Amino acid sequence: MESGMKYAFISHKNEEPDLGVTNRLYSYLSSHKLGVWYDAQLGAGEWTDQLSVKLHGASAYILVASERSLAKSSYEVKGEVALMRRETKNGKKLIILALDDYIFHLPPGTVDYLLGSNLNQAVMLYKYASEEEAFEKVRSYLSTELDEFENDPHDFVYEENVLKTYLGSDPTVTIPSFTEEIAEDAFKGNGTLAKVMIPPSVRRIGKRAFFGCSTLFAVEGMAGVRSCDRSAFDRTPVMGALKGIKVLNGVALGGECAGEVLELPEGTLTVACRAFVCNEAKEIVFPEGLVHIGANAFRDCYNVEKLEFPKSVESVGEGAFSGCFSLKKAIFYGKLPPQASEAFDNIQPEEVK
């Protein structure tokens, strides 16, 4: 479970039967597509930097409480509990899964110090007819605190909110809603992916993100994409099905541009980075509604003489028209985008209101 993802940290005694219950709880919550993390590899009293990072990064906490975990000798669990209590003061939820009634035999001051008011959200495992019933109660407490996933959350590898790699084999994948970027090569060569749903939170799709996904026939979403590399969907069936100017869910990814006029279709919202090299084109027609033009999008279109941008354009990437040596004028019929001058080699863009 990586940062960026909302997950629950499970604190437990690394001895049986506590460890067995923790393993089964982890499996149950994961099977219900909730993000959870614990470390079954640590020995008694061990503390690692990773454990500290995971504890502080969690959105909620589960304490597997027992006589073993809360006894005076169990310093590692008590240390975790003290840190979790501090985090709950910032609004994070602590849920207690009690394996026995030892928690009720602690001195009142100790209970208050360790657990505060969180006994109100305690699940008494020993009172339930089955573990699954108790685990379901824990899940119900957590469901409003954590990200719910359509796919196994452990198949997604993140750095902050950047999806670095997908490890799974599901034919349909829904990108988690907190994702801001799909990194280069994230799904490259995946041979089972048939459909991917990309949420509005995704702003950038990197080079070769879905390159060579030989069974990818459907892509949904992409409404929030501001930057996408032209190679992101290369060598996929969904790309092969596009004809002429290849526009996928509002993102122009390149395509045929023979002739003196390159006209982007209505409905184009974003032009991908490095999308076009049109040596014959003398004119490029941008539709109203176009919002973003990627870096190097029209690099080396050296016969283009004049460009007119609709009011809707909000950003133009660095070097978007670099190498367009015949270009004499670039007119924006709206507010000049930030750093627009970096898109051109030898001219200054003009703003016309």
Mean pLDDT of the chain: 85
Please choose, from the candidates 147, 238, 139, the residue with its C-alpha nearest in 3D space to the C-alpha of residue 156. Answer: 147
Q: Of the candidates 142, 163, 193, which is a domain's last residue?
A: 142
236 and 257 part of one domain: no
pLDDT in tens, 290-300: 999 999 999 99
Is residue 90 a part of any domain in this protein? yes
Is residue 147 a part of any domain in this protein? no
Is residue 1 a part of any domain in this protein? no
255 and 237 part of one domain: no
Q: Of the candidates 142, 169, 197, which is a domain's last residue?
A: 142
161: pLDDT confidence band, cut at 50, 70 and 90? confident
Report DSSP letters for 90-156, one per residue. Answer: TT-EEEEEESSSGGGGS-HHHHHHHHGGGGGGEEEGGGSSSHHHHHHHHHHHHTTTS-B-SS-GGGE
Beta bridge partners of 61: 9, 94
Q: Which domain holds residue 301?
A: 243-353
221 and 337 part of one domain: no
Is residue 132 a part of any domain in this protein? yes
Please choose, from the candidates 108, 103, 104, 109, the residue with its C-alpha nearest in 3D space to the C-alpha of residue 77. Answer: 103
39 and 91 part of one domain: yes
CATH code assigned at 52? 3.40.50.10140
- Report whether pLDDT(195) > 90: yes
118: pLDDT confidence band, cut at 50, 70 and 90? low
Q: Of the candidates 241, 262, 281, which is a domain's last residue?
A: 241
238, two tokens: 């969904």
113 and 176 part of one domain: no
134 and 19 part of one domain: yes
328 and 292 part of one domain: yes
- Report whether pLDDT(126) > 80: yes
119 and 16 part of one domain: yes
DSSP 236: S
Rounded distance between C-alpha atoms, residue 134 and residue 199, angstroms? 33
- φ/ψ bin of 63: left (φ > 0), alpha (ψ from -120 to 50), beta (otherwise): beta
Chain centroid to CA 6: 11
| Whole-number pLDDT of residue 2 | 47
What percent of the chain lies above the pLDDT cut of 90?
50
Domain count, the chain: 3
353: pLDDT confidence band, cut at 50, 70 and 90? low
Mean pLDDT of 211-236: 95
| Whole-number pLDDT of residue 313 | 96
Mean pLDDT of 137-155: 78
64 and 92 part of one domain: yes
Lowest mean pLDDT, pick from 54-68, 156-170, 307-321: 54-68
| Whole-number pLDDT of residue 111 | 60
Is residue 2 a part of any domain in this protein? no
CATH code assigned at 317? 3.80.10
20 and 134 part of one domain: yes
| Whole-number pLDDT of residue 48 | 60
83 and 99 part of one domain: yes
| Whole-number pLDDT of residue 79 | 67
- Report whether pLDDT(73) > 80: no
Is residue 148 a part of any domain in this protein? no
CATH code assigned at 215? 3.80.10.10
320 contacts 294 by C-beta, under 8 angstroms: yes
Is residue 38 a part of any domain in this protein? yes
- Report whether pLDDT(221) > 90: yes
Is residue 149 a part of any domain in this protein? no
Predicted TM-score (pTM) of this structure: 0.68
208 and 252 part of one domain: no
